[in-house]
């Protein structure tokens, strides 16, 4: 486990450089409002997310971690800077292209699951392919369903599933289109600790065994500990990162941030 207080991002990979990161941002800035009432939600974020990595973004409420995720996922437009998924700069895309990009290359897992109540688990899982008009890869579907232990739940509607089951369906939905990256927003926020732990280990398995890339926003240190790497954010700035985290290390990192803040304020 290592803790770096201010990470130095690698320069943009050149033609002969290391493998391209799945997602990366340079000088990404979001300012809400203007003039005196302007609020800087995110300032000059430079960050890389390697393919096949499980990253947690952590920080206190209002630190800018959600804003960072919205910008990276193309859900919100940046005030300045660039965000790239693969080699596509998403900051310049119009709504239609962004929608396509999300459909084909990004998966989402939400805190409140957000399954469509009128569809069965299976219909929910294949929905992204349905919307794109793409063929279902049966093998991949079976792999996902068995990995997520959903085989005997496919005909159930969301109202007939437990929270943990619903979130597993949501994970399968996020992965079905084999996206470049999956964004998970507090995926355990609405779950009891046992279901939460299950969901997190599924997310980790999907990275380790299925080779996907996951970026998770959370404020729960024990959830963050499932990740390969934890990025800490405070006051709209990237404040540090922890590789191979443990809950204790994450807590320590957060405490460090807090004292760092206090020092800064003083």
Spatial distance between the Cα atoms of 242 and 73, rounded to a whole number of angstroms = 22
Length of the chain: 266
Rg (CA), the chain: 18
CB of 114 to other proteins, least distance (A): 4
CB of 65 to other proteins, least distance (A): 12
Part of the chain binding other proteins (CB under 8 A), chosen from 4-12, 48-56, 70-78, 225-233: 70-78
Q: Could you give the maximum distance between any two Cα atoms of the chain, in Å? A: 59
- Give yes or no for residue 114 binding other proteins (CB under 8 A): yes
Exactly one of 112, 162, 201, 259 binds other proteins (CB under 8 A); that residue is 112
Spatial distance between the Cα atoms of 181 and 209, rounded to a whole number of angstroms = 15
Part of the chain binding other proteins (CB under 8 A), chosen from 2-10, 34-42, 124-132, 218-226: 124-132
Question: Which tokens hold the place of 18?
Answer: 């290391």
Which residue is listed with tokens 């929905």?
127
Spatial distance between the Cα atoms of 143 and 179, rounded to a whole number of angstroms = 15
- Give yes or no for residue 141 binding other proteins (CB under 8 A): no
Which residue is listed with tokens 């793409």?
134
Which residue is listed with tokens 């998970």?
184
Instruction: Give 37 or 159: the residue with its C-beta nearer to other proteins.
Output: 159
Angle at which helices 121-132 and 138-147 cross, to 10°: 140
Instruction: Give 112 or 146: the residue with its C-beta nearer to other proteins.
Output: 112
- Give yes or no for residue 190 binding other proteins (CB under 8 A): yes
CB of 266 to other proteins, least distance (A): 34
Q: Give residues in contact with other proteins (CB under 8 A).
A: 66, 70, 75-76, 95-96, 99-100, 102-104, 107-108, 110-112, 114, 116-119, 127-128, 130-133, 159, 173-174, 185-186, 189-190
């Amino acid at each position: 486990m290592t803790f770096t207080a201010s990470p130095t991002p690698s320069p943009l990979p050149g033609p002969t450089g290391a493998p391209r990161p799945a997602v990366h941002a340079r000088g990404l800035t979001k300012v809400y409002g203007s003039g005196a009432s302007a609020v800087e939600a995110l300032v000059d974020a430079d960050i890389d997310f390697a393919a096949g990595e499980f990253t947690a973004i952590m920080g206190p409420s209002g630190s800018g971690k959600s804003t960072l995720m919205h910008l990276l996922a193309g859900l919100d437009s940046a005030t300045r800077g660039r965000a790239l998924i693969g080699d596509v700069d998403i900051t310049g895309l119009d709504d239609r292209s962004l929608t396509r990009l999300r459909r084909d290359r990004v998966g989402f897992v939400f805190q409140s699951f957000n399954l469509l109540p009128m569809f069965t688990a299976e219909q929910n899982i294949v929905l992204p392919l349905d919307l794109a008009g793409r063929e279902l890869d049966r093998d991949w579907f079976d792999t996902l369903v068995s990995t997520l232990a959903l085989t005997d739940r496919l005909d159930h509607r969301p109202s007939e599933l437990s929270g943990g089951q619903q979130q597993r369906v949501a994970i399968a939905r996020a992965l079905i289109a084999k996206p470049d990256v999956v964004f998970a927003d507090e995926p355990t926020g609405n779950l009891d600790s046992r279901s939460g732990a299950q969901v997190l280990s599924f997310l980790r398995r999907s990275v380790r065994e299925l080779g996907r890339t996951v970026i998770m926003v959370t404020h729960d240190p024990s959830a963050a500990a499932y990740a390969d790497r934890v990025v800490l954010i405070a006051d709209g700035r990237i404040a540090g990162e922890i590789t191979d985290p443990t809950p204790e290390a994450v807590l320590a990192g957060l405490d460090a941030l807090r004292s760092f803040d206090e020092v800064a304020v003083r």
